[in-house]
Structures are given as C-alpha cells and as structure tokens.
Structure 1
Amino acid sequence: VEKLTDLGGGVYQWEMEKVGTAQVNIQTIYASKYVSKYESAKGQGTVKWTPVKGIGNALVGGNWKIVDNKKSTNVTLAIQGEIEVPLPGLMKMVVAPVVEGEFEKLVEKYIDNLIKRFGGEA
C-alpha cells in the first residue's frame, strides 16, 4: 500500500504501489466500504468490505471469516477484484494475464506478511 485515505463513512481509498517497469507500469487505486467501520459483525466473526464504484481503476471486495478453535484461530480470506486497464483490445489480451499474476503475488505477499507478524501457517 502506497497510500490509504479515510474518505469517511467507513469508506477507504487504497492506492497501491506501482508494479512493472519505469516505462510500463500500473497502479491500482480503489475504494472499499467496510461493514461496521472495520469492526467484525457482532457474533458472526466476519469483517466484510464491498467495492465503491467511481473511485480509481478497480473494484475490490472481500471478507475475513474468523473462527475460534480454542487452541488456535482459523482465518479465511476471500477477495474479489476487477481492474480496468486502459489499453486497446489486442494489447489487453497480452497484458491482462500479467496484471492478474501481479495481483495474485501482492495478495500472497500480504498473507505472508500476516503470517510473519502473527505466526501460524497458510
């Protein structure tokens, strides 16, 4: 994350670091609204965020599901994302798999960092 901005009302704008080379790169910018303003839904063990249309070049939503297993905690992460790459059709066919791969690497890095910070296994 390069920059995180609180837009109010439980909505946050995420500006990710640019990926690619100096000549060819992409920066993902999106906003998501969090249920219960970043708090878990009481009694459900979930944190959910939904995409906010009209901000940035992506729509990203998802949720955390947290289960207390008494001796450990099970956390499940689900993310759905859609990014708009402003390129001609033919070039999109070539670039889309690269962008998708970079997004998956960022999610994996995010999970790895959480495991390093809190311990556990994936």
Structure 2
Amino acid sequence: MAVSITTEIKRNFVIEAPLDNVFEVLADVPTSASYFPKLEQLTDLGDNCYRWALKRIGVDKHSLQTVYACRYISDRAAGTVRWEPIEEPASGDDNSIVKGQWTLEAERDVQGNEVTRCHFSNTGTVTLPLPGIMKLAASPLVKHEFNTLIDDYTENLQQGLAS
C-alpha cells in the first residue's frame, strides 16, 4: 500500500546581489544544490537532467528518503529557471515527482544597490510505502519537512549570495 502527499510551496524574497550573479548560481544545478540542506546526492544524468536524493528522515525501518529526477531549463532573457519531472532513466528508487520555477527580477534597494527579487514556486508529490490510514498523520509531517527545507534553502541562498 502507498500514500501520495502533494506539497505546493511558494516563496518571494530578495537576495542582495545583482540578477546576473543570482541567475548564474540558480541556472547551474550543482552550484544551486550546494545551498540545499539535507542533500545526500545529486547525480548528473546528462542533458541538464539531475537526480536528487535527500537524506533519510525518520528512524531505522520507519525512515524515508525523497528521490526524484528533473530536467532544468534556463532562460536568461526571461530571468527564469524551470524544472520538470523526467521519467527516464528511472533509478527504481524514485518516489517523488517535482516541478517548479524560479523567476528573477532586478530591483534597486533604498541605497540604489542592485538586488534580485526571487519568486520560487514548487509542486512535489511524494509516494510513501504506508497504509492509507496513515495519510492523515503523515501529510502534515511531510509538508512541514518540505517547507522547512525550502526555508533553509532560500535562507542559505540569501546569506551565501549577498554582495
């Protein structure tokens, strides 16, 4: 039996760095991933596709690991970096489907310095090997964990990229 839990996360924030610098980091998946907390492994699948394996959460046999693969599409003129799920090549361990986008806008702060307004949106569905009755208990925990990961990720980017 399996339970699927979907999370939708949106964040809007400013990074105190020029748009070109922020875009360069976010468009380079391995560099961007270096800011992501609890990442166990990032595997380059070629053709700008990557498999993410997050560190296990939980205890012993009651732990889970989120694994998914995405293709990344960057458009500097539009200021976007998108990711969409890929099905092949499947590792057999994939248990999630993830898609989303960064949208970046150049702005000036009150001192006139160039900063970047970042709009992050992500939708993910993780499938867990749990009985259906557990969905009510697992859903808020999974959603909390993913929200915490994204909050830490955006904070790491803000601190790491600040001019």
TM-score scaled to structure 1, two decimals? 0.86
In terms of fraction of residues, the more strand-rich structure is 2
Q: Which of the numbers 85, 104, 111 marks the counterpart of 2:147?
A: 104
Partner of 2:60: 22
Distance in 2 between residues matched to 1:26 and 1:44, nearest whole Å: 37
Partner of 1:86: 129
Q: Which of the numbers 68, 72, 75 marks the counterpart of 2:106?
A: 68
The DSSP-based 3-state class of the residue aligned with 1:64 is strand
TM-superposed CA distance for 1:16, in Å, is 0.4
Partner of 2:69: 31
Q: What residue identity is the alignment partner of 2:63?
A: N
Q: Which runs of 4+ in 1 moved over 3 A?
A: none
Unaligned runs of 5+ in 2: 1-38, 109-113
Partner of 2:87: 53
1:44 has 2:78 as partner:
yes
TM-score scaled to structure 2, two decimals? 0.65
Unaligned runs of 5+ in 1: none
Q: What is the RMSD computed on CA atoms of the aligned residues?
A: 1.7
Higher relative contact order (CA 8 A, sep 6+): 2
The number of equivalent residue pairs is 116
Q: Which whole-Å deviations, capped at 9, do the CAs of 1:32-86 have from their partners, x for residues lacking one?
A: 0011xxxx31411101110123640001111111111253211111111110011
